[in-house]
Amino acid sequence: MRISVNGQAHDLDVDPETPLLWALRDEIGLTGTKFGCGMAQCGACMVHVDGMPIRSCVTPVSALEGRDIVTIEGISGKEADAVRQAWVALDVSQCGYCQSGQIMSAVALLSVEPKPDDKAINDGMAGNICRCATYPKIRAAIHAAAKSLEG
């Protein structure tokens, strides 16, 4: 089986049911995408497939042949730059473990909604749990990133 991650093709010799999360982490060695629940509850495993945020813990690799997978290590573009800059400037992270997923969701949100209000942020980020409750800073960082994209 062959999948494309961050623009690179990878041949995988695994059970086709293997969730993308474990293929990324164990087979390809991209460990920025995290495991938090394994059942589409927490968003720690968020990646982009053809530009859409998906939870890699419940997506089998067999569904991804020919699709364009992007992880935290490969995310690029103006939204990604703005989000990462805001995340650093505001020191969003505490333990940091959820933040790859938060960033992937935030980038996806800004791609479809360049100027999200609080309600849009609540909806767009509802799938990402942060047990450290960095939520106020996540919200502020998304607003800051949106602002920087305007100018």
- C-beta of 88 vs 95, nearer to ligand FES: 95
Q: Which of 73, 86, 80, 64 is nearest to 12 (CA)?
A: 64
Member of 4, 31, 62, 148 binding another protein (CB under 8 A): 31
- In angstroms, the CA 67 to CA 47 distance is 12
- C-beta of 27 vs 68, nearer to another protein: 27
Q: Distances in Å between the alpha carbon of 15 and those of 6, 22, 99?
A: 22, 11, 29
- In angstroms, the CA 146 to CA 13 distance is 41
94-133 residues in contact with another protein (CB under 8 A) are: 94-100, 103, 121-123, 125-126, 128-133
- In angstroms, the CA 57 to CA 46 distance is 8
CB of 121 to ligand FES, least distance (A): 16
Residue position matching structure tokens 């474990």: 22
> What residues make contact with ligand FES under the rule CB under 6 A?
35-38, 40-45, 55, 57, 93-99, 130-132, 134
CB of 138 to ligand FES, least distance (A): 9
CB of 42 to another protein, least distance (A): 6
Helices (H), the chain: 20-22, 78-89, 99-112, 118-124, 135-150
CB of 134 to another protein, least distance (A): 7
- Per CB under 8 A, residues contacting another protein are 14-15, 18-19, 22, 25-39, 41-42, 44, 71-73, 84, 87-88, 91-100, 103, 121-123, 125-126, 128-139
